[in-house]
Chain A
Amino acid sequence: MSNAQIEIQLIACIVAIACAIPGTFLVLRKMAMISDAISHSILPGIVIGFFITQDLNSPLLILLAAVTGVITVVLVEYIQKTGLVKEDTAIGLVFPALFSIGVILIAKNANDVHLDVDAVLVGELAFAPFDRLLISGTDVGPKSLWIIGSILVLTTSLLFAFFKELKVSTFDAGLAASLGFSPAIIHYGLMTVSSITTVGAFDAVGAILVVALMIAPAASAYLLTNELKRMLIYAIGFGVCSAISGYWVAHVLDASIAGSITTMLGLLFLIVYLIAPNKGVIAVLYRERQQRIEVSLLTFLLHLKNHTEESERHVNHLSEHINWQKVRATSVLELALKNNMIQLDRNIVSLTDKGHEFTTQAIDYIITNQDSKIEHMKDDFFLFRG
């Protein structure tokens, strides 16, 4: 690997980490679309900053863009608060307006300079190593590495300092407010950090693809864990994996790095979406199937419990009585036998003691909804896991 290759991957990884942290909280706050809005509407901020400084990497530019990001959020909330339109409509009204201001500003004034809509939206990571930061004549590395690195340091320090505040206000804003942690301060703090990260990342992956780096790793992580800290760590891990693998895919295909990273993010989410142990599609389908069988089992057991006469309990009559197809009847019969809940005596089915007890408890639970009685059954049966 050449130096430039290492530098590109390093920048991509740092961008991914810096995005995953605010992204996790945006996903949990159901504000993923706000990051999309911010990523578009920072354009006028970037353009105005560029006119003033004539430097795409100036801190002022980042600051102005971040301010536009926060203005977006304020405008969306203001329109929403009128009660005349819903949040998604408000988002759809605000960001195209701000974005188009940026497009017009570029078209009118920046035709002859190195700033075009594509560069801002899509970015070009491959060029990042060419723009070096010189400190008193010494080359200390690519400029964008320093910019996004500083943003990452800022984001991580804020995360460590205010983790508990972020957690409580995201989970329960009312409690946070009553405890004295102003949800408004935390909300706008998060919005500011998200805006700053978006601006910092636009050089590397572009302002649009940064949305993918914020949302996709967090959404994937959300499907895999029940703990906030782990969700953060997984999201960071997914971001970094996609950044590195995306770079090499682009290398092999000779394609856009940002595009490849985003594709990897999409693939990764798809895989997690399918195979996540509890929330994944396959797991859910399996659970639903098991639940269906268990409901059938319970219906079957209840039938046995309610009917003492032998004619009602003959194997051949059962499928007719409960009106099941043969396959289903067989699998239910097998499940009941396997759990020692029924016994077969000359093709007459009857409940065992265990079967009796189970049916009573299960019906009790369904009627009274009291958890204490069936706690031990949750491990064996999907039906009772809520």
Chain B
Amino acid sequence: MKQNIAIRVDDLTVAYNYKPVLWDIDLEIPEGVLMAIVGPNGAGKSTLIKSILGILKPIAGSVSIYDKPYDKQRALVAYVPQKGSVDWDFPTTALDVVMMGTYGSLGWIKRPGQRQKKAALEALEKVGMLPFKSRQISQLSGGQQQRIFLARALVQNASIYFMDEPFQGVDATTEIAIINILKELRKAGKTVVVVHHDLQTVPEYFDWVTFLNVKKIATGPVKDIFNDNNLTKTYGINYKVSVQE
């Protein structure tokens, strides 16, 4: 069976101040996979996601979402940035942050109304954060903040989800809660792309993986390509990880 390609990246090169951080990336992500992007620090994992989402401008190459440019497909895509990328002292509540997920479908100027609020409350419920809806976001723990971010992505009701290190600095309960939601999303036919750090959990959490270190090392099903050979190529000499089969 030939799968649909959800995300296609062609010859993508991205540079900061003329220094390439991603070099000639070709990548096809099939629809319905739960994919981890792994690689060492500075490998360009976040940069890859940001370039796909048009937040960073590549110096060469192109990206398409279901064969169309990202600009045309925004409604299909939800994004969870790194938790550390925002100021959690910002004067706003958990519910309000989740509501921001609905802004994309509203477009410029139009204000969110009851429908958007209802959707946001449902998303909060799904991540188990409904009791905290009125709490100021700095008063939430790291795990709770991450769940708020996840709820904000869920409320977008997208087909493709990009998440930048959703498991960073969260407690074990939150990690399990998040991965369960991600697996549910996959079951519903959604495509989920996650920047991931913990190599130990890759085989348990994900069914697809991309090794990245400035260049693309390998991409494919976890069971076929998650091996010491690719890990060594990505992380340097003789990287060994004990993969439980």
B78-119: contact bitstring with A at CB < 8 Å (1 yes, 0 no)?
010100011100111100110010011011110110000000
When distances are taken between beta carbons in the complex, the residues of chain B under 8 Å from A83 are 17
- Shortest Cβ gap from B140 to chain A (Å): 8
- Shortest Cβ gap from A262 to chain B (Å): 25
Q: Indicate if A109 sits at the interface (CB-CB under 8 A).
A: no
Q: How many residues in A have their beta carbons less than 8 Å from beta carbons of B?
A: 37
Q: With A and B bound together, what is the CA distance between A164 and B104 in angstroms?
A: 11
- Whether A227 lies near B91 (C-beta < 8 A) is yes
- Whether A179 lies near B104 (C-beta < 8 A) is yes
Given contact pairs A168-B103, A179-B74, A174 touches B141 in the complex (Cβ within 8 A): no
Q: Indicate if A161 sits at the interface (CB-CB under 8 A).
A: yes
- Whether A225 lies near B108 (C-beta < 8 A) is no
Q: How large is the interface on B (under 10, 10 to 19, 20 to 34, 35 or more residues)?
A: 35 or more
Q: Indicate if A372 sits at the interface (CB-CB under 8 A).
A: yes
When distances are taken between beta carbons in the complex, the residues of chain A under 8 Å from B107 are 180
Q: Which of B26-42 contact A (CB under 8 A)?
A: none
Given contact pairs A83-B17, A168-B103, A369-B141, A174 touches B50 in the complex (Cβ within 8 A): yes
Q: Among B17, B104, B140, B144, which residue has its beta carbon within 8 angstroms of that of A180?
A: B104
Given contact pairs A172-B85, A172-B86, A226-B93, A368 touches B171 in the complex (Cβ within 8 A): yes
Q: Indicate if B54 sits at the interface (CB-CB under 8 A).
A: yes
Q: With A and B bound together, what is the CA distance between A178 and B193 in angstroms?
A: 15
- Whether B139 lies near A178 (C-beta < 8 A) is no
- Whether A164 lies near B106 (C-beta < 8 A) is yes
When distances are taken between beta carbons in the complex, the residues of chain A under 8 Å from B53 are 177-178
Q: Indicate if B77 sits at the interface (CB-CB under 8 A).
A: yes
- Shortest Cβ gap from A305 to chain B (Å): 24
- Whether B173 lies near A372 (C-beta < 8 A) is yes
Q: With A and B bound together, what is the CA distance between A167 and B140 in angstroms?
A: 20
Q: Which of A146-195 contact B (CB under 8 A)?
A: 161-165, 167-168, 170-172, 174-175, 177-181
- Whether A171 lies near B92 (C-beta < 8 A) is yes
Given contact pairs A227-B92, A368-B171, A178 touches B77 in the complex (Cβ within 8 A): yes
The prevalent SS among residues of A at the interface is helix
When distances are taken between beta carbons in the complex, the residues of chain A under 8 Å from B93 are 226-227
Q: With A and B bound together, what is the CA distance between A164 and B171 in angstroms?
A: 32
When distances are taken between beta carbons in the complex, the residues of chain A under 8 Å from B54 are 177-178
Q: Indicate if A386 sits at the interface (CB-CB under 8 A).
A: yes
Q: Indicate if B143 sits at the interface (CB-CB under 8 A).
A: yes
Q: Indicate if B188 sits at the interface (CB-CB under 8 A).
A: no
- Whether A174 lies near B55 (C-beta < 8 A) is yes
Q: With A and B bound together, what is the CA distance between A222 and B89 in angstroms?
A: 10
Q: With A and B bound together, what is the CA distance between A179 and B71 in angstroms?
A: 9
Q: Among B85, B103, B141, B152, which residue has its beta carbon within 8 angstroms of that of A164?
A: B103
When distances are taken between beta carbons in the complex, the residues of chain A under 8 Å from B62 are none
Q: Indicate if A370 sits at the interface (CB-CB under 8 A).
A: yes
When distances are taken between beta carbons in the complex, the residues of chain A under 8 Å from B144 are 371
- Whether A171 lies near B86 (C-beta < 8 A) is yes
When distances are taken between beta carbons in the complex, the residues of chain B under 8 Å from A369 are 141, 143, 171
- Whether B81 lies near A174 (C-beta < 8 A) is yes
When distances are taken between beta carbons in the complex, the residues of chain B under 8 Å from A177 are 53-55
Given contact pairs A178-B74, A231-B91, A370 touches B139 in the complex (Cβ within 8 A): no
Q: Indicate if A354 sits at the interface (CB-CB under 8 A).
A: no
Q: Indicate if A90 sits at the interface (CB-CB under 8 A).
A: no
Q: With A and B bound together, what is the CA distance between A175 and B79 in angstroms?
A: 7
Q: With A and B bound together, what is the CA distance between A228 and B131 in angstroms?
A: 21
Q: With A and B bound together, what is the CA distance between A226 and B97 in angstroms?
A: 13
- Whether B79 lies near A386 (C-beta < 8 A) is no
- Whether A386 lies near B139 (C-beta < 8 A) is yes
B44-59: contact bitstring with A at CB < 8 Å (1 yes, 0 no)?
0000001001110000
When distances are taken between beta carbons in the complex, the residues of chain A under 8 Å from B230 are none
Q: Indicate if A28 sits at the interface (CB-CB under 8 A).
A: yes
Q: With A and B bound together, what is the CA distance between A151 and B79 in angstroms?
A: 37
Given contact pairs A179-B104, A180-B74, A181-B108, A371 touches B136 in the complex (Cβ within 8 A): no
- Whether B103 lies near A179 (C-beta < 8 A) is yes
A77-97: contact bitstring with B at CB < 8 Å (1 yes, 0 no)?
000011100000000000000
- Shortest Cβ gap from B86 to chain A (Å): 5
- Whether B173 lies near A181 (C-beta < 8 A) is no
- Whether A178 lies near B55 (C-beta < 8 A) is yes
When distances are taken between beta carbons in the complex, the residues of chain A under 8 Å from B71 are 180
Q: With A and B bound together, what is the CA distance between A364 and B74 in angstroms?
A: 44
When distances are taken between beta carbons in the complex, the residues of chain B under 8 Å from A230 are 91
- Shortest Cβ gap from A26 to chain B (Å): 14
- Whether B112 lies near A226 (C-beta < 8 A) is no
When distances are taken between beta carbons in the complex, the residues of chain A under 8 Å from B92 are 167, 171, 226-228
- Shortest Cβ gap from A28 to chain B (Å): 6
- Shortest Cβ gap from B48 to chain A (Å): 14
Specify which of A83, A165, A222, A369 lies most central, judged by the most chain B CB atoms within 10 Å of its CB.
A369
- Shortest Cβ gap from B122 to chain A (Å): 19
- Shortest Cβ gap from A236 to chain B (Å): 15
Interface residues of A (CB under 8 A from B): 28, 30, 81-83, 161-165, 167-168, 170-172, 174-175, 177-181, 222, 225-228, 230-231, 368-372, 375, 385-386
A-B pairs with beta carbons under 8 Å apart, 10 shown = A28-B91, A30-B87, A165-B109, A168-B100, A177-B55, A178-B55, A178-B79, A225-B91, A226-B136, A386-B139
